[in-house]
Structures are given as C-alpha cells and as structure tokens.
C-alpha cells in the first residue's frame, strides 16, 4: 500500500480537508506554500502518464474536486496553482497519482 492508500484507510493520520467516495484531499506534511493540499484517488493509479481509459471518470472527478477544495479553503478567488508530477525528474516522491493545490502567496512562474 502507498502512504496515500494508508491515509485513505485511516491507518496514518492526516489533516483531511475534503472527502468523496473515491477521493480524498488533505494537507501536505511538507507544505511549499501557506495552502498546500494533496488531492488523491483512494484507489492507486501510479502516475498520470499510466492512467488508462477506464480511469477517465476519476480523473475528471479529481479535477472537479480542485475547485471545491479551493473554495473550501478560501483561495478560489485569489488564485491557486495545481501541479501533477510524473517521475523522478518531475519531483514525484510517492507512486500514487496526486494533485498538488498550492495557494496563499504569490507563486513564481516558471516554477523551479
């Protein structure tokens, strides 16, 4: 099981900010911005580039959850960034698809 599957199963504690039947959003333990939340499917998809056609529904639901979570956290109107890392060179550290929602400060472009 990945760490995210263990969080979804409540085997590891996390500060959960949003939950649906098939996805979970929780605060990152190593935040890179004042608001840094991970939005993950409860079922493990190893990474975005390995998603298949049958994952289309959950991929859409994850993206829709971004707006819901941003609104809950009060950053929808001020702005936020979403990032999905795929592989070592992108900074992926957990082989379980997750969306980073970052906000709460001006974010530089391009990202580093």
On the 0-12 / 13-18 / 19+ scale of CB atoms within 10 A, 72 is middle
Q: Of the residues 18, 86, 98, 100, which is catalytic?
A: 98
Distance (Å) of CA 104 to CA 21, 75, 81, 93: 28, 7, 10, 23
Look up 86 and say whether it is catalytic: no
Tell me the C-alpha distance between 39 and 69, whole Å: 9
Q: What residues are annotated to the active site?
A: 98
């Amino acid at each position: 099981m990945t760490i995210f599957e263990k969080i979804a199963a409540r085997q590891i504690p996390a500060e959960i900010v949003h939950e649906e039947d098939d996805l979970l959003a929780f605060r990152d333990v190593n935040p890179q911005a004042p608001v840094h939340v991970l939005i993950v499917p409860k079922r493990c998809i190893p990474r975005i580039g390995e998603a298949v056609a049958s994952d289309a529904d959950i991929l859409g639901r994850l993206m829709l959850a971004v707006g819901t979570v941003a609104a809950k956290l009060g950053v929808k109107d001020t702005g936020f960034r979403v990032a999905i890392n795929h592989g070592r060179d992108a900074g992926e550290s957990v082989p379980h698809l997750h969306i980073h929602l970052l906000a709460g400060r001006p974010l530089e472009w391009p990202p580093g």
